A and B are shown apart, each in its own frame.
Chain A
Amino acid sequence: MTALLDIKDLRVTFNTRYGEVTALDSVALHVNAGETLGIVGESGCGKSITALAAMGLIPMPPGRIAGGSIQLEGEELTTASEARLRKLRGREIAMIFQEPMTSLNPVFTVGQQIAEAIRLHQNVSATQAFRDAVALLDRVGIPSAAERARDYPHQLSGGMRQRVMIAMAVSCRPKVLIADEPTTALDVTVQAQIFDLLNEIQRDFGVAIILITHDMGAVSEMADRVAVMYAGRVVEQSTADNVLDMPQHPYARGLIDCIPALGKGETELKEIPGVVPPLHLLGAGCAFADRCTLKNARCETEKPLLLNHGHHLAACHAVEEGRR
């Protein structure tokens, strides 16, 4: 099977007051048609930058794609013209963001905004586009869709706004939907509704989803495959079951072990000591070495590559050498 979206060796840098900082380094990911890829990691690990790069939305300058490729169905995106990207965005690849309120225009009704997205990509009349918008709102579970389509974003609850964003994102039947922390601003019961909706949309529309999250629980419920990122690199990638049940990279294992689970009582949580190093201070070795219990001399001097270890891709010298 060829990948729908294929990111290879992607390197993105930003000009900052510390000089040129590498935000993404040798990032390799792919998502197949109709599946969900979860990208997990802590803040600053590069998961959102990866998504923005795929959308062609990295602000340049200060950002720069310094190397690698992003291919959507074989078409190279890193060198595509802005006009071409505008055609692709929304139609082939769409995105929903963390805070639906700031992603919607406050002075237009939600129906108008969805209709606008439809008319940008499809040759239909304004009335038809609005009718389509109402049907989409109904599809994403908004009650009395025809009336709600005439509401402004501030009249809707957070969960409803995120449903509007999803309706807009799928309005042109994209092949890839990127969801960047889509439920972080929402309550758990509403989060559950949005997750169930995304799974339904995937079943019905056959859209591939890239779910960016910091929550391993969300990955478990949503993802077919998982990529774990740390300090701008992918450190582990495999099926969700493999990563959750037998994580290889010490960081992936740490992320899973430190979650306070509902089922167990008062035992001490396993911590990952220390903090993520600032990107401008990354040395020659593995970025995780300072926090890792398995490090040796090689970890401090040589960056581990993302290698295939049976069922996992992992970037770790300890995994490579069989040290546990």
Chain B
Amino acid sequence: MTALLRAEDLTVRFRLAKQSLFGPAVHLEAVRQVSFTLEKGRALGIVGESGSGKTTTAMAAIRLTEAAGGKVLFEGEDLLELDDEHMRLRRRDIQLIFQDPYSSLNPRARVVDIVREPMDLMEIGTPEEREARVRDLFGLVGLRPDQLNLFPHQFSGGQRQRISIARALSTNPKLLVCDEPVSALDVAIQAQILNLLARLKDELGLSYLFISHDLGVVRHVCDDVAVMYLGKIVETGPCEALFDAPKHPYTQALLAAAPSLARRKSKGYARPMKLSGDPPSPLNPPKGCAFAERCPKAQAICRETPPDPQKLGSLTVSCHFAGS
């Protein structure tokens, strides 16, 4: 297996407004030394709660947010070192789908132009070839050719997401970053889009960096998964191993919290693991393990020393007591 995208110690810092005119600048570390590898032809899911840094990690990895440190190797080339023109050309290999299919399409453009625009910008093919490709893409994502000249508002949410996917595929990318692509859709429509994404991945050999808060969705689409908490990856590995036998207490709690058809009120279910409280503020991250405050296994060492990632079978876990 070869790595398509590899992040090493990626760090993102945001500068916040000063508290007072002469006070020091306040920085918020949204992503803290995150490393991950996305293999060619596979899908890596990033899960976590809001504010855990999953979107910021992905955006920094494709240079839509400036990283404060670390490396991002795309096919062996460090994206963070590229000059603007080379990065612009690289973008044809990296495309995005967003959460909200309503605000991510220009309401005043016809969808044929929306889907063609990336090819225009990248000067791919002749105008005739581009027109033909738009038609092909429409078929590929399950839209009809007679819908080419409509405007975005004439489509339903699921269809709009199909348009976003067609637009993303127009430059023939290698990597698709999907930022909560089905969160805004109804469950029945969600299934249609997830099946489409799974089919496209197989047919076109795409790789996905897939951000979602929905564990079921990630389990369905992804091969590997990374769980984030307060700007760090706390556990990562193949989906099967991680979902079947999670080692990090946070992952265990996350799985226990996800609503499941297997837990019935009539059977008097009791949640196997309960978490109290909210995640700590990233402005003032705890000295030790970020999860220690809410963790049922936490000991003195957890509050003092941040745990290093350790290998446990196929999983990599950052927890002092993961083995126990």
Contacts and interface: CB of A to CB of B under 8 A. Distances in A.
B265 A224 contact: yes
Contacts of A260: 190-191, 194, 214, 216-217, 219-221
Nearest to A265: B240
B299 interface: no
Given A189-B49, A192-B271, A271-B195, A220 B260 contact: yes
Contacts of B106: none
B220 A266 contact: yes
B269 interface: yes
A267 to B, nearest CB: 9
B217 A261 contact: no
A258 B260 contact: no
A157 B49 CA distance: 13
Given A199-B265, A269-B220, A218 B259 contact: yes
A45 B220 CA distance: 27
B156 interface: yes
A216 B260 CA distance: 8
Contact of A255 (B159, B188, B254): B188
Interface stretch (A5-13, A170-178, A239-247, A305-313): A239-247
B235 to A, nearest CB: 15
B258 A217 contact: yes
Interface string A133-177: 000000001010000000000000101100000000000000000
Interface of B: 49-50, 156, 158-159, 186-192, 194-195, 198, 213-217, 219-221, 239-240, 243, 253-266, 269, 271, 274-278
8 contacts: A188-B49, A189-B49, A192-B259, A241-B264, A254-B188, A258-B190, A262-B219, A269-B220
Given A189-B275, A199-B265, A239-B266, 16 more contacts: A143-B277, A192-B259, A196-B271, A215-B187, A220-B264, A221-B259, A260-B191, A260-B219, A261-B260, A263-B262, A265-B220, A268-B195, A269-B194, A271-B195, A272-B188, A276-B186
9 tightest Cβ-Cβ pairs between the two chains A and B: A217-B259, A192-B257, A260-B220, A258-B191, A187-B49, A42-B186, A272-B188, A260-B216, A269-B191
